[in-house]
Amino acid sequence: MSGAKIILADVAKSFGDNVVLDGVSLEVESGESLAVIGQSGTGKSVLIKCVLGLFRPERGSILVDGDEVVGASEGKLARIRKKFGMLFQGGALFDSLPVWRNVTFGLTQGRFQNSARMRAIAEENLERVGLSRDVLYLRPSELSGGMQKRVALARAIAPRPEILFFDEPTTGLDPIRADVINDLIVSLVEEAGITAVTITHDMASARKVAHRVAMLYGGRIIWQGPRDRLYDSGNPYVDQFVQGNAEGPIQ
Ligand SMILES: Nc1ncnc2c1ncn2[C@@H]1O[C@H](COP(=O)(O)OP(=O)(O)OP(=O)(O)O)[C@@H](O)[C@H]1O
């Protein structure tokens, strides 16, 4: 690891009276895998959208490789966004397109470009997520949920991003298929040197994919530490969340 890739300092974001982020400070090192945990609706997705410049915080600073995202022009944001790949919660695949066009969508913006080259790129990236060329011409709806996630992952990595955001990557998968996705995230971080931020409710996934875990609660990061400390955090909010107790400080 060498230097912080992403630095958030005192980031605040509200929607009307709904204060979602209220002073988030967090750093992600280059080559690090960080998991952000927290209850539904605490603002994990909003946090990611602020980093991508899709939401404009009212306060604070977000640096990506030293470039300020908050208040940046659309041109600068477009340049910064090229560093990111994103695995959306539902996969967000287009069922009207075959798998190969889904995988290369970010490279072509949906336009028809040298198909043979695009199919070769699709095949190469599908192979990186453990899928064979047999799926190239299938529609996403013809695949299992686990395979759809892998296709979505192949699409996220096709432009060779430096940073990957995973929004609930294991949701809806059985524990075995979830673990296949976890292993893929680990290998992308280790082999390709990608910086990863994973939003998850799945504690097994957080412990497997992340070097470090941060918990978002009440608009702030209330705890962060190495994954080994997740079940020994000394923080009653983290304890309640990871153990899934109805009783505790989180109501
Ligand atoms: N575009 C928007 N306009 C208004 N409010 C929004 C918008 N996007 C998110 N919110 C609000 O921000 C809050 C946090 O939502 P967010 O989706 O970030 O939660 P989350 O922690 O990612 O939850 P989950 O784990 O269920 O995905 C919610 O109260 C939501 O209603």
Question: pLDDT digit string (tens) for 212-248?
Answer: 999 999 999 999 999 999 999 999 999 999 988 888 8
First and final CA of the chain: distance in angstroms?
38
Residue spans of the domains in the chain: they are: 1-83+161-169+194-251
Question: What is the radius of gyration, based on Cα positions, of the chain?
Answer: 18
Q: What are the CA-CA distances from residue 61 to residues 8, 53, 148, 214 (Å)?
A: 6, 11, 35, 18
Q: Is the CB–ligand 1 distance for residue 224 below 6 Å?
A: no
ipTM of the complex: 0.96
Q: Residue 190 CB: number of other CB atoms within 10 A?
A: 11
Burial of 245 (0-12, 13-18, 19+ CB in 10 A): exposed
Tell which residue, 108, 178, 119, 117, has the closest CA to residue 150. Answer: 178
Topology (CATH level 3) of domain 1-83+161-169+194-251: Rossmann fold (3.40.50)
Half-sphere exposure of 109 (CA within 13 A, CB side): 1
| Structure confidence at residue 1 (pLDDT) | 44
Residue 152 CA to chain centroid, in angstroms? 12
Instruction: For residue 63, give the DSSP letter.
Output: E
For the chain, count helices (H), then strands (E). 9, 10
Phi, psi (degrees; rounded to nearest 5) at 94? -95, 115
Q: How remote is the CA of residue 88 from the centroid of ligand 1, in Å?
A: 14
- Tens digit of pLDDT per residue, the chain (251 long)? 446 999 999 999 999 999 999 999 999 999 999 999 998 889 999 999 999 999 999 999 999 999 999 999 999 999 999 999 988 776 688 889 999 999 998 786 655 567 888 889 999 999 888 888 899 999 999 998 888 988 998 998 888 899 999 998 888 888 888 888 899 899 888 888 899 999 998 898 999 999 999 999 999 999 999 999 999 999 999 999 998 888 888 88
Q: Both tokens of residue 169?
A: 């990557």
CB-ligand 1 contact for 46 (6 Å cutoff): yes
Given CA atoms 80, 91, 48, 201 in this order, what sign does their dihedral have?
Answer: negative
How far is CA 166 from each of CA 37, 83, 170, rounded to the nearest angstrom? 12, 14, 9
The CA 46 to ligand 1 mean position distance, Å, reads 6
How much is the mean pLDDT over the chain? 90
209 Cβ inside 6 Å of ligand 1: no
Hey, which of 46, 88, 201 would you mutate to test ligand 1's pocket, going by the most ligand atoms within 8 Å of its Cβ?
A: 46
8 dihedral zone (left: phi>0; alpha: psi -120 to 50; beta): beta
Task: Using alpha carbons only, give the angle 106, 209, 39 rounded to the nearest 5 degrees.
Answer: 90
CA 24 – ligand 1 centroid, Å: 15
Residue 215 · residue 224 · CB < 8 Å: yes
